[in-house]
Chain A
Amino acid sequence: MIAFGDPFGLFVLLAAPSAAAVLALIPYPAVSQAVARAGAVLAFAAAAVLLATGATGRWGAYLGLDPLSEVFLLMVTGVYATSIFYSRGYLEHVARPFLTPQVYYALLSAFAFSMIAVLVVTDLGLMWIGVEATTVASALLIVLERRPSSVEAAWRYTLVASAGLTIALFALLLLYVSTGTLDALQLAANPPAVTLPVEMAVALALVGYGTKVGLFPMHSWLPDAHSEAPSPVSAMFSGVLLPTALYAFLRVYRVLPSPAPAVITDLLLAFGIATALVAAFLIQRQRSFKRLLAYSSMEVMGLAVIGIAIGGVALYGALILLVAHAFAKSAAFYCGGNVLRTTGTNRIDEIRNLRETMPATGLAWVVSAAAVTGAPPFGTFLGELLIVAGALAAGLVWVAAVVVVAILVAFLGVNSQIGRMVFGEPLVPPRPVATDSESGWGFAYLNLGVALAIGVAALPYLSPALRGAAVFLGGSLP
């Protein structure tokens, strides 16, 4: 149950980023930045304390915590904090920013607040509002660098994500009519009878929220938005926005009894496999490294959905994968941001020899590429291993085979492309590079350290919450 001090933790979680979103508009850039940083650090500290104390339960009519939300909160606030800190160096190199630093920090804080809100509300309608609010808060951030392609990306993102969320809202209407409530905890505790409208609601929620998760074929906004947004925002998109949208779906999915009806798990498997395979093969033909990273995120989301469909150990693996990927992918985007600032391009063919021109960033980039694609001993490796093991244990040998193929294809694609940029022979003539733009790589190493720790050391700390989350979602763990 939620103990005496926990409402304060929840209060800090919600108040810190929302206050930062307002106060960051103060017309002094240094103060604005300090306020945004303070808000992010406070939110992360609150999430860490809530996870460490294992506070679960309901607070009031609309707020609540359980292991699933606590794990996601740590992930969101962690990446939010490092992205806020990384932003300073990045903003200094944007030539004609569309937003002032104050508005940028305010929107980034509002974006984080909306994701945190999704994770702490218990009402599925409020959760939907939170997911929609992420679109409103983040759309303008994509346009920061004032390129025509950024405008197109923002437009496509807003429209496609909103169209998907409208379908999700239809799903909630169906669910409400069928069950008479939208209280996620109540529905999870007393699952309604599995009727056709309930199944349709879950299926529509998969399509609706799946649009925001980046599931194939509703993914068209994802590579554009991730590649056109400034790198700290891309890090939050890839690392935590996609899992947050998946979390919203999981809350609807949880209204089904365990094991879920075959029609729903088959649907999840179909979307997951299609997404992982399509993304893995699209990775091979990318010319922009930011799009490369975006498709890599899409592949990971596909793998996570496969793990959720299988349940049990695979579901546990999917949760580990999501958390470790969030930190590793944000590290990769920070490195990409440094490279973009230094070379002025995101074209893979125009970047070589980073090991000499940007040694600190180059090394972090190679390591983060390995981390996001599931190399041992990172947490992503553990997560993917458990998904494959779960598929085999469930007798789904062909699914395990498909997962292995997707993992290998994505691994080769991402690592070979980033390896070429870091270790490739210098271009002749060499491309002119900006100097003094290799700042912020410390945050990449920090997040890589977290992804590594999840794989080798931190699991005992995270495991109770992760196991609790997996069991809550319907898994039975050995």
Chain B
Amino acid sequence: MDGSAEVVALVGVGILLTALYLQSESFVDPLIRGIAVQSLLLAVLLGWLAWTTQSVDLAILAGLAVAVRAGLIPYVLRRQIRAFRWRMRELHAAHRVTGHALAAVALAIIAWFVFQQTLASIFPQPGAALPFVLLVEGLLMLATRSNTIVQVIGYLEEENAVVYAGALFAQGFPLFVEVVVFLDVLGVVLVAVILSIQRDVTGTLEEAALEELAG
């Protein structure tokens, strides 16, 4: 493995570790900081790839990852919970942290295995399975968490997975920067608008507290 591939693989492992950490955390503030770290690591990877391939698109994506997913959205999320930052915890998840962590590891292994069996021959790059694993981890977070802020974090993780995949094995994908900008816009809309409305209308950020929709 050459030096550049080693950097990509190492940073990729770092991103995977943050994904596993996010699954095993129930306090909201560390979760927000966790996704910021993951986005920063992704930005490092994108920046490295941009430098080695002289790609302007990848440099823009790195900038977006820093500005929006490591900076703006975590900042807004932390402001949402500023009054009770250090004690806000997802109780539903707190009782099941061990289960979530085990499920996350098991899913990561399964996703890795599936990738190796199906797509590894087409994507021989080192760590090419990692975006696939990250996508599955993001979906797991969306499926198992009920706090809206944590669900936003799951969404951001999914977006990181797509950007990671695009940078790693689909360079030249038309309009990829525009697509990512669009995902970021949606992320900001999610955070800035719907979270605010939810606080105003319901006074809570627990989706589980809303039980009117049934059937």
Contacts and interface: CB of A to CB of B under 8 A. Distances in A.
B159 interface: yes
Nearest to B202: A148
Interface in B122-179: 122-123, 132, 135, 138-139, 142, 148, 151, 154-155, 158-159, 161-162, 165-166, 169-170, 172-176, 178-179
A288 B161 contact: no
Nearest to A285: B215
B68 interface: no
A371 to B, nearest CB: 24
Interface stretch (B58-66, B77-85, B96-104, B184-192): B184-192
Contact of B213 (A98, A170, A224): A224
A182 B119 CA distance: 19
Interface string B179-215: 1001101100110011001100110000100101101
B183 A132 contact: yes
Nearest to A180: B172
Contacts of B176: 125
B170 A176 contact: yes
B122 A178 contact: yes
B53 interface: no
A227 B215 CA distance: 11
B213 A158 contact: no
B52 interface: no
Nearest to A174: B119
Contact of B215 (A154, A196, A223): A223
A174 B119 CA distance: 10
B197 A98 contact: yes
Contact of B165 (A152, A159, A173, A224): A173
Contact of A129 (B166, B170, B178): B178
In this complex, the member of A125, A177, A178 whose beta carbon has the largest number of chain B beta carbons within 10 angstroms is A177
Contact of B186 (A128, A162, A224, A286): A162
Contacts of A123: 174-175
A143 B166 CA distance: 34
A162 B187 CA distance: 10
Nearest to B132: A170
Interface in A272-299: 282, 285-288, 291
Contacts of A288: 215
Contacts of B197: 98, 143, 151, 154
A163 B139 contact: yes
A288 B165 CA distance: 42
Nearest to A132: B182
Contacts of B183: 132, 162, 166
30 contacts: A125-B179, A128-B179, A136-B186, A139-B189, A143-B201, A147-B201, A148-B212, A151-B197, A151-B201, A152-B207, A152-B213, A154-B194, A154-B197, A158-B189, A159-B151, A160-B142, A162-B155, A162-B186, A163-B154, A166-B162, A166-B183, A170-B132, A173-B165, A173-B169, A173-B170, A176-B172, A176-B173, A177-B122, A177-B169, A282-B215
| Closest 7 A/B residue pairs (Cβ) | A149-B212, A152-B210, A173-B170, A166-B158, A148-B202, A125-B175, A151-B198
Interface of A: 98, 123, 125-126, 128-129, 132-133, 135-136, 139-140, 143, 146-149, 151-156, 158-160, 162-163, 166-167, 169-170, 172-174, 176-178, 182, 196-197, 200, 223-224, 227-228, 282, 285-288, 291
